[in-house]
Structure 1
Amino acid sequence: MHRNSYSLAALAAAAVPGLVPARTTPIATPDEDLDVAGIIGEQGRRVLVQSPSTTASGVRLERDLKVADALSGTPLQGVIPPVLGFVKLSEGGRATVTEAPVGRPLMLEDLQGSSELARSLGQVLARIHTVPRYAAESAGVESFTPEVLHAEHRARILAAKADGYLPAAVSQRWETLLEDEELWDIAPQFIHGDLSEESLFVSGESISAVRDWSSSKVADAASDLAWLISSLDPERFDDLYSAYRDELPTSTHPRLVERAQALGEFAVAEWLAHGVETQDETIISDARGMIADLDADLAQLARDEAERAYDEMAAREAHEDRA
């Protein structure tokens, strides 16, 4: 059951004693089955109310809250808004009210234009990835072995290949990446699992809040970096990754960035699989366009490499003739 902003304000008032809603503000969320609104009280207090409209979204919300609670005793507590109250819903489940995240939702343009903000995000990512496994497991998050993660990637690529959607160059590249054992020799860590503009808030030049923990798991740290390496220009990603490494108590996997790049490419196959599964031609067309772009990039790289090899050979021959 979906609720409008007025109904959400009433839920917030019921969950938080003394809160008198004065106005509401929309909050973007990637979950269409979760109604979310920012509520501003008469005294200027700002809260965030979330109400699931389906059983599945209710399960995700409860998982989100359980993980966030487990993280409250870690260095991430400063970017996780505290829960203020709950209210049972007539159709089952419950709505939750938290302090409103400080600042505003992050936009990629913010990161592109600010080295300091990129470094702040790198530091927050490092703190996420150093959450102790016992804290993650106490929240009931799933843990995946390197073998299981690798098998999932392979199955996704093989499915795309079997459906005839992969050009030869893309197929060969992805198969070569999958066969590189060193690349996938990872130590699983706690990850957010679904980082996006909607899940991050920014205030000034700093990341002020991280939301939506329902997809968190113990898996590959490269997963949280994949969307960033695919979206940011190299200089800004270098700023982020430098701060990430500086914040970590131990060294990173020597090929973490390369694996993040690979996962960014594999995400296209995942998007394609989603389109095929849902029979959504718009998604399928979008994914095929991305694959075509990658195929064109690989063809250009091959041409550039051939030209470099030819130039080097010509230079050697010229040197030998002069000798």
Structure 2
Amino acid sequence: MLRGMARPTLTLAALATAAVSGLEITSAQRHSRGSHGDYDAVDLQSADGRRLLVRVPNSVSAETEQSADLVALRALTTGVRGRLDFRVPTYIGQVPFSGTRAIVSDLIPGDVYSADELTRDADVADAVGRAIAAIHSLPTAFVGEAGLPQASAADSRTAALALIGRAADTGRLPAALVRRWENATDDDALWQFPALVINGGLSADSFLIEGDRVSGVIGWAGLAVGDPAKDLHWLLGARGANAEVALAAYTSARSGGIDRLIAQRALLYGELELVKWLLHGIDARDSAIVDDAVSMLDGLVEGVHAEHVSPLSPETGPIMTVNDVERMLDRTPRESARRDPGAHLLTDSYDQSEFERYREGEAAGPDADATGPIALDLTGFGDSSAPSGTSEPDADTDATTPDQDARNSDSS
């Protein structure tokens, strides 16, 4: 059984020395936001001046996530990382422990902020937008070489349909939402986009901030080729004054151009998070989660007909804005998972909630079609007649050169 009392700091420090040959630790302190986190974690200072982090998962789901993160970090070779202007965690070593394993990585300095706080300062918002664009501009070849998921535009559409269909079969989805979402998946224009490298699980918690720059991006378990809109729906829900600054920076920094309807799909994905929450409650046989999800879905129906709604596409008509969806998501029982501003990620007993871990996997091949540049005014995203533009950049074979050290390390 993975979950239990928090492991002592000295125990985790000792595990780190067992995982990393020759490691000498001069200090160790716990990284924790409480006793109910997904990981026990300790911040280490080594004799050679390195800052390291050792983490042990406290649940099966956290262990699964940690394994997926390791696979992704190994796929992010030196060549690929060289295309990014921020740091990605580096795997250092591991050791079996108590039915699971302790993982040691480097500790990237930086503070974690909420989505609202990230978009409160224009310079920070700009840096976040450019960081997302850098991820989406990576060559796709290394993802397939690492055996990570690849989903074309058609695959993404099929996955959304399957999710809606499964939820509709429960009999708990309002008919109005089923019709609206099915109309969205029927809108061919909405699903004409290039499949790109995506983090697959981006949220405000993913970004480490130093001053006004992004010092690191962590949490790569969802690394894949897929729909770039999946990395944006959290940003469209930010209530900071500079959310559009982040979107403008993303647009200008993206090589190859982006599709005009990316915002509509991001809005759709934001709403479908409620569907995932409902299905999680049903799978877990947790009536409280199910009731909460149903309540939020009912609120979404009301928002569909409210005066402040915005269009998803000409075919589907108005839906609730991501801002409203995010406000409802805030009501889900995940308050213990929220990170305090100023805390480090890749820390702690890090409390990523069941809701955010409940993500569907995708697999297929990348789609090469591309469309034209985006317009930043979100009210203008309803034009499904957007022209096509430049295509996705070709893969750079130099950037996908395998990192031999990582490939020779233990398998995840």
- Shorter-chain TM-score range: 0.7 to 0.9
Q: How does 1:134-173 map to 2 (within 5 A)?
A: 134-173=141-180
Give the structure 1 partner of residue 68 of structure 2.
63
- The whole-number CA distance in structure 2 between the counterparts of 1:205 and 1:303 is 33
* Aligned amino acid, residue 248 of structure 2: S
Q: Any conservation in 2 of the 1:191–1:216 contact (CA below 8 Å)?
A: yes
- The whole-number CA distance in structure 1 between the counterparts of 2:174 and 2:240 is 27
1:117 and 2:92 are equivalent in the alignment: no
Q: Which has the higher helix share?
A: 1
Q: Larger deviation: 46-55 or 179-188?
A: 46-55
Q: Over residues 207-259 of structure 1, what are the superposed CA-to-partner deviations in whole Å (9 max), with x where a residue is unaligned? A: 21111212211111100111221x31385321111101111111101111111
Q: Residues 304 and 97 (structure 1 numbering): CA distance in 2 closer, same or farther, change over 3 Å?
A: closer
- The whole-number CA distance in structure 2 between the counterparts of 1:211 and 1:161 is 34
**222, 237, 246: which one pairs with 1:215?**
222
- The whole-number CA distance in structure 1 between the counterparts of 2:106 and 2:174 is 49
Secondary structure at the aligned position of 2:150 is classed as coil
1:23 and 2:28 are equivalent in the alignment: yes
1:46 and 2:55 are equivalent in the alignment: no
* Aligned amino acid, residue 87 of structure 2: V
Q: How does 1:231-310 map to 2 (within 5 A)?
A: 231-233=237-239, 235-301=241-307
- Gap runs ≥5 in structure 2: 312-412
- Gap runs ≥5 in structure 1: 306-323
* Aligned amino acid, residue 219 of structure 1: G
* Residues matched between the structures, number: 302
Secondary structure at the aligned position of 2:66 is classed as helix
Give the structure 2 partner of residue 76 of structure 1.
84
Give the structure 2 partner of residue 316 of structure 1.
none
Secondary structure at the aligned position of 2:242 is classed as helix
1:193 and 2:200 are equivalent in the alignment: yes
CA-atom RMSD in angstroms: 2.9
Q: Any conservation in 1 of the 2:28–2:42 contact (CA below 8 Å)?
A: no
Higher relative contact order (CA 8 A, sep 6+): 2
**116, 132, 140: which one pairs with 1:133?**
140
Give the structure 1 partner of residue 235 of structure 2.
228
Secondary structure at the aligned position of 2:306 is classed as helix
- The whole-number CA distance in structure 2 between the counterparts of 1:19 and 1:185 is 53
TM-score when normalising by structure 1: 0.82
Q: CA deviation at 1:198?
A: 3.5
Q: Any conservation in 2 of the 1:188–1:221 contact (CA below 8 Å)?
A: yes
Q: CA deviation at 1:53?
A: 5.1
Q: CA deviation at 1:143?
A: 0.9
% same residue: 28
Q: CA deviation at 1:57?
A: 4.8
Q: Over residues 72-96 of structure 1, what are the superposed CA-to-partner deviations in whole Å (9 max), with x where a residue is unaligned? A: 322237321333x314214566432
